[in-house]
Amino acid sequence: MKPTEVLSNEHRVIEQVLDCLERIIAEARTNGRLDALSARDAISFFRIFADRCHHGKEEVHLFPALEAKGFSRAGGPTGVMFAEHEAGRACVRAMSEAMDAAAQGDPAALVRFAEAGGEYIALLRQHIEKEDHCLFSMANQALTDEDQAELMVKFENVETEKMGRGTHGKFLVIARTLAEKYGVKPKVVAGGGHGVACCHH
């Protein structure tokens, strides 16, 4: 298992919840009211699993490793990825700020939530495509076997030290529960092996 495979597998879980968010927004537009519980679960997933765990591994460990190999942050691929992570955080903040009022049926808040959510879905899908098909290929060419092994250890430390044991399982359950509720086909099998999402179960 390479570090980029861990990240790519995490992408599948993130895509699953993006599909759920799309349906949460569609349902809210139909009903004139946001499902607060589902929206809260999705936002928590994006903040913790997608951002702190997944983007954290990239920003703290993968991107600096690539920059040490000569990748430029200024105008280079890691800089673009950093900027897109920040844009995603702004979308999640906007959804969070609009969520309570949208759940109470406030039309303006519902529009704000839907617009921020739609922007986030489009951004993340494009971002994942770039990483899966461009950045990760470049990473695997640039990083030695030793580099890869060191990154795997660092990724696992993100799980045990920064996120805490059990976090992986908690958010896989959230992803699975949302998928079941909204009829989204899971993109991974929960518990299907090391690196299916985060590094530990």
CA–CA gap between residue 162 and residue 167 (Å, rounded): 10
Q: How far is CA 18 from the centre of its chain?
A: 9
The parts of the chain modelled with pLDDT lower than 50 are 189-201
Is the residue at 17 inside a domain? yes
Task: Check residue 165 and give its pLDDT.
Answer: 81
Q: State residue 164's pLDDT score.
A: 82
Residues ≥6 apart with Cβ < 8 Å to 92: 43, 46, 47, 51, 116, 120
Instruction: Give a yes or no: residue 200 inside a domain.
Output: no
The whole-number pLDDT of residue 190 equals 40
- At 189 the pLDDT is 45
Residue 65 included in any domain: yes
* 153 part of a folded domain: yes
Q: How many domains does the chain have?
A: 1
Domain with 117, as residue range(s), is: 3-182
The CATH code of the domain that includes 54 is 1.20.120.520
Q: Residue 188's pLDDT is what?
A: 59
Q: Does residue 147 lie in a domain region?
A: yes
pLDDT of amino acid 162 = 82
| pLDDT number for residue 166 | 83
Assess if residue 198 is contained within a domain: no
Q: Which of 121, 95, 90 is nearest to 22 (CA)?
A: 121
